Structure 1
């Protein structure tokens, strides 16, 4: 049979529409950048729904959960393994608490400091899957303990963490130039609601420029009064897709660019988190006017980082809490409760408080 001209025209139009419907659409691919600053848990952890309350508006093109490697290592911050020294002599005493690295007073922003600064500090109540005997240098003798978390802690019960002794929390926010921890916004909001002092950290990626990493952090971490200073996490990471190990001079230059940009934006001097091997290779004698957060899970920081003043000590990667399933990093502030209130309130430097 012959097909009428109208029918022929309609069929031809439909065919053309079907062929061209996907033309010009870019294939969206996740970033190739991977990092092993965290480790996948044995069971998958679902990303939290995005919560935007109290956060600055963010553009819709942020691909937040796009590229964590399957071979990422254990905790929110990692280092080469230290030898476990469980038999630290009981007589080894921690040096007297000294003024820690200077901290520039934060600018006063738009929100009032949280009321928790007037609340009593919650005392240590954590357990440890791999306890270390630090003797008289035990972190338990210091007053103010806290945690650091990332997506791999899953849905955190912040009220239980607070009740068990977490007075502050550093929360994984970003790494590299395009990674946003998918649990960051939920953890940021809920830690504050539970009464913890909160801060955000960035895992520095040696294959990206310092400027774009600073811009990415600033884009995703709100500038809020009462928040703890931002943290730059610097370490060597053999499991990362970035295998580059730049020279000491390049490392220090890149760190300075990143930290200067954050300090200008947040009005607070960033804290440097590091591990023994990276410190040995790059940071001895450097950044003397910056506060340090040191990982030392087998010996006191005075033994692992001789001569370095510190603000926070990450003393365990195997903490146990009712607030999370699995293990959690445990940290302590270098000072008494009075020094903590003065520093966390942004009224003075720790050096002035001691």
Structure 2
């Protein structure tokens, strides 16, 4: 798992931690076995859209907590406006309020969000994507969490402009070696 924190990158450090990305798609996870395998962190999907909580979120957060595996969370966004992003942030924060979240709270905005917006007649431009991410992240930071945004490697240049990289850590989700951002 790689995420890029602009504050640390300026100092020459890339934050890279051996971790996993989990959601309800993986079913019931044996967190004791995960710890034995050497996993040192997790990004857990808390939910998606306008309040759909991931069916394994609580179990995964509790498993990480029991095994002392630090974790962050992500919300799979389907927002097509800043107002919708603020509502998603509210839902996310409500979902995680009972847990100690060690890593950032992330809005994951990628191809699914763009497709969903298009199905509603909204074309997601770089400007709109930035405003959606900023609305979510500002809400998260307003509650004392570290905010982050995430996307697929191919959407990074096509969907996001550099201003977000100066403001928030970036999680690039995908298999393979870490991406290098210039």
Larger radius of gyration: 1
How much has 1:242 moved relative to structure 2? 4.4
Give the whole-Å Cα distance in 2 for the aligned partners of 1:143 and 1:276: 16
**Residue 10 (structure 2) pairs with residue 148 (structure 1):** no
Match of 1:281 in 2: 158
- Where structure 1 has 5 or more consecutive residues not aligned to the other structure, the ranges are 1-98, 104-141, 308-354
Give the SS at the match of 2:103: coil
Q: 1:188 aligns with which of 51, 61, 83?
A: 61
**Residue 55 (structure 2) pairs with residue 178 (structure 1):** no
Give the whole-Å Cα distance in 2 for the aligned partners of 1:239 and 1:250: 11
- Aligned length, in residue pairs: 167
How much has 1:279 moved relative to structure 2? 1.2
Match of 1:254 in 2: 132
Question: Would the aligned equivalents of 1:206 and 1:245 in 2 still touch at CA under 8 Å?
Answer: no
Question: Cα 1:168–1:300, aligned 2, differ >3 Å: closer, same or farther?
Answer: closer
How much has 1:216 moved relative to structure 2? 1.1
Runs (4+) of structure 1 moved beyond 4 Å?
223-226, 238-242
Match of 2:170 in 1: 292
Higher relative contact order (CA 8 A, sep 6+): 1
1:178-257 matched pairs, under 5 angstroms: 178-207=51-80, 209-222=84-97, 224-225=99-100, 227-237=102-112, 241-243=116-118, 244-257=122-135
Q: Which has the higher strand share?
A: 2
Give the SS at the match of 1:152: helix
Give the whole-Å Cα distance in 1 for the aligned partners of 2:16 and 2:47: 29
Note the alpha carbon deviations across 1:9-37, whole angstroms, 9 max, x for none.
Answer: xxxxxxxxxxxxxxxxxxxxxxxxxxxxx
Tell me the TM-score normalized by structure 2.
0.80
Question: Would the aligned equivalents of 2:45 and 2:74 in 1 still touch at CA under 8 Å?
Answer: yes
Tell me the TM-score normalized by structure 1.
0.43
- Where structure 2 has 5 or more consecutive residues not aligned to the other structure, the ranges are 9-14
How much has 1:277 moved relative to structure 2? 2.7
How much has 1:262 moved relative to structure 2? 0.7
Give the whole-Å Cα distance in 1 for the aligned partners of 2:159 and 2:115: 19
Q: Which has the higher helix share?
A: 2
Give the whole-Å Cα distance in 1 for the aligned partners of 2:151 and 2:116: 19
Give the whole-Å Cα distance in 1 for the aligned partners of 2:132 and 2:156: 15
Q: 2:38 aligns with which of 165, 173, 183?
A: 165
Note the alpha carbon deviations across 1:232-268, whole angstroms, 9 max, x for none.
Answer: 1110128965434411111111211111011111x13
Give the whole-Å Cα distance in 1 for the aligned partners of 2:114 and 2:104: 28
Give the whole-Å Cα distance in 1 for the aligned partners of 2:138 and 2:7: 15
1:45-60 matched pairs, under 5 angstroms: none
Question: Cα 1:215–1:144, aligned 2, differ >3 Å: closer, same or farther?
Answer: closer
Give the whole-Å Cα distance in 2 for the aligned partners of 1:294 and 1:271: 11
